[in-house]
Amino acid sequence: MTAAETAAARRDEPELGEGVHAVLATGERPPRPSALTMALTFGWRGLLKIKHVPEQLLDVTVTPVMFVLMFTYLFGGAIAGSTGAYLQFILPGILVMSVLFTTVYSGVTLNTDVTKGVVDRFRSLPIWSPAPLVGALLGDAARYLVAGLVIVVLGLILGYRPDAGPAGVVAAIALVVVFAFALSWAFTTLGLVMRAPNAVMNTGFMLLFPLTFLSNAFVEPSTLPAALEWFVGVNPISHVITAARGLMEGGATGGEIGLVLAEAAALTAIFAPLTTHLYRRA
Amino acid sequence: MSDGLAIEASGLVKEFGDTRAVDGVDLAVRPGTVYGILGPNGAGKTTTIKMLATLLRPDGGSARVLGHDVVAEADAVRSGVSLTGQLASVDEDLTGQENLILIGRLLGYSRSAARSRAADLLDAFGLADAAGRQVKNYSGGMRRRLDIAASIVVTPRLIFLDEPTTGLDPRSRSQVWDIVRALVGDGTTVLLCTQYLDEADQLAEGIAVIDSGRVIAEGTPAQLKASVGSGALRVRLLDPDRREDAARVLAERLGVEVVREADPAALSAPAADGARAAAAVAALADAGAEVADFALGQPSLDEVFMALTGHPAESGAPDGLADREEAA
Ligand SMILES: Nc1ncnc2c1ncn2[C@@H]1O[C@H](COP(=O)(O)OP(=O)(O)OP(=O)(O)O)[C@@H](O)[C@H]1O
Ligand SMILES: [Mg+2]
């Protein structure tokens, strides 16, 4: 840039120096907020992202909606004898699936923050260091809720009838959201070890797809070969589906619900510290 | 602060696998000054800044920033510094206003105080009109300004700027420079990483030149230039065919060896004495070798870099001649 160009540039631009000077003079440091305020602030950021990029909700709801329609009308007759009976069977499973798929996006979002450099700013602030993670997952819970509601509403339109009524549905969604919150820690860990958001997405779905299909979402485990039946039996996603089905149909046992909560606690206990540790040195 | 330094690093080392990204860097930065870290791609600038800003833990050596150890007292360091990273560290999905409110809330402002602070900052940085737009729709210059604004939501005592003008057009660069001058005018210490040699020259009081993770030279811009020697006269002729005639005239007038540059119409020659150089240029016209443009100045930091490392900086300023006087 030549001196003449610089001078010309200065002429048609407002002088920034003066304004910056004034705004600096007014800055004084407010007291440090609580960890909760910080986490909620990051949760607010997550909600803003949903507001600005609503397409991200579309991504995670279109697939389960397609599954509901496809399985009900394509396979319903063959597997359960009637589309109505099959919808009644698979809807809780698809609810779980649709919410759990959403958890992969927690890892994708975090990876995007790292690759775009936003994380560097957060980590250089004097804040409670897990706040960005906890807050983001709280914001994501809103997404889980939307994903869950879409499936339930679609099911009701198509003729699904939860025997346990609205209370059962609410309880089922709540349980699934709790489990999703725990599972999303696994994907944030993945988000911090992978190089690019796309890689997180692909790996995440590669793990989650077989796990959701090798569950009791679509078929009665008793119809499966022994080895598969065993796997479906130990798959935590089957446990979530069993509990959700029980809550929606009535007849869920404390043991079924307790198992899901214990698995959620275990996932959190392993992956929350791991994510936090990796985040500190991202 | 023990001995009044804003940054005091000794023997900083960072290794990534086999790469020694930073290999024993010492720095001493006085408060209230702009200090430049100058180096080509991969020199270790970002890694050094990240260690000083507590984002990376050093593998060796130690550093105190604002009097606090960057490892043992990381939180105290964070309370006094701000980082504007190499990648504009703002959330592209949010609007400019939301970005600033977010930082304000995290630093303890109430909802309404964060909002009004954001408005003031957007005004001061010429972003008021874009306040409600998503950052992904900002130009590079706007994004940079927002990024710096986010760093001064609470006025920091020290700000790290990692290549703040890379990829900006001349106008945006000069805006960022204005901001840096305003900051330092207000007593903030600035640590500025740059690949642009003229940028360090324009802004910094002290410069460390780093290459392959080591400081290879340190001093004021003038000292660095002096270490390379006298200034130079550079001439471009209207007609390349007259170059040999012109070279003869210059050699005669200046009494030095004239360099024929890659550009077939360009010549350069060492010239310590401005008056004599001007007379030599005038003599060219008399000899019928019309001059398209000429520049007279101290050696650029590009030349300094060449002299220090034996290889050119991989990426100099687009036209790193800000310290030369141009004439048509
Ligand atoms: N996280 C990392 N893992 C492995 N190697 C890294 C990492 N960060 C930096 N490096 C390597 O360390 C060296 C110094 O990198 P650094 O980013 O500090 O350079 P720089 O001076 O900032 O360069 P640039 O001008 O390109 O930003 C490079 O060789 C780089 O490849
Ligand atoms: Mg860098």
- Res B22: pLDDT: 93
Residue A67 has pLDDT above 50, yes or no: yes
Query: ipTM value of the model?
Result: 0.83
Collect all residues with Cβ–Cβ distance below 8 Å to B192 and sequence separation of at least 6. Answer: B34, B35, B36, B37, B161, B164, B180, B199, B200, B203, B204
Nearest-CA neighbor of B100 among B131, B129, B136? B131
pLDDT per position as a tens digit, A74-85? 888 888 788 888
pLDDT per position as a tens digit, A142-152? 888 888 998 99
Edge-first strand listing for the sheet containing B34-38: B81-84, B158-162, B189-194, B34-38, B206-211, B214-219
Gap between the Cα atoms of B90 and A113, Å rounded: 9
Residue B323: strand, helix, or coil: coil
Using CA atoms, how far residue B36 sits from A8, B14, B132, B241, B316, in Å, is 26, 20, 34, 42, 15
Using CA atoms, how far residue A89 sits from A33, A75, A81, A163, in Å, is 48, 12, 12, 12
- Res B229: pLDDT: 62
Q: What is the mean pLDDT of residues B135-162?
A: 91
Pick from B53, B87, B174: CB nearest A124: B53
Gap between the Cα atoms of A202 and A245, Å rounded: 29
Place of tokens 């890659």: B262
Nearest-CA neighbor of B159 among B140, B182, B126? B182
Nearest-CA neighbor of A120 among B161, B257, B217? B161
Q: Tell me how far apart the 2 most distant CA atoms of chain A are, in Å.
A: 83
Q: What is the mean pLDDT of residues B140-169?
A: 90
**Cβ of residue B325 lying under 6 Å from some atom of ligand 1:** no
CATH entry, B2-225, from 3.40.50.10470, 3.30.300.280, 3.40.50.300, 3.30.2010.10: 3.40.50.300
Q: What is the mean pLDDT of residues A95-110?
A: 91
Minimal-distance CA residue of chain B relative to A48: B94
Residue A35 exposure: Cα atoms within 13 Å on the Cβ side: 6
Higher pLDDT, A17 or B74: B74
CATH topology for the B229-298 domain: Alpha-Beta Plaits (3.30.70)
Instruction: Please give the helix or strand (H or E) that residue B150 lies within, else none.
Output: helix B140-151
Higher pLDDT, B268 or B228: B268
Gap between the Cα atoms of B174 and B98, Å rounded: 26
Residue A12 has pLDDT above 70, yes or no: no
Nearest-CA neighbor of B69 among B25, B3, B14, B9? B9
Calculate the average pLDDT of chain A. 87
Those of residues 88-107 in B touching chain A at CB distance below 8 A are 88-95, 98, 102-103, 105-107
Q: What is the mean pLDDT of residues A36-58?
A: 90
Residue A242 has pLDDT above 50, yes or no: yes
pLDDT per position as a tens digit, B28-39? 999 999 999 998
Residue B302 has pLDDT above 70, yes or no: no
pLDDT per position as a tens digit, A53-65? 888 778 777 888 8
Q: Where are the domains of chain B?
A: 2-225, 229-298
Gap between the Cα atoms of B179 and B168, Å rounded: 14
Pick from A14, A53, A126: CB nearest B75: A126
pLDDT per position as a tens digit, A163-203? 989 999 999 999 999 999 999 999 999 999 998 999 999 99
Residue A15 has pLDDT above 70, yes or no: no
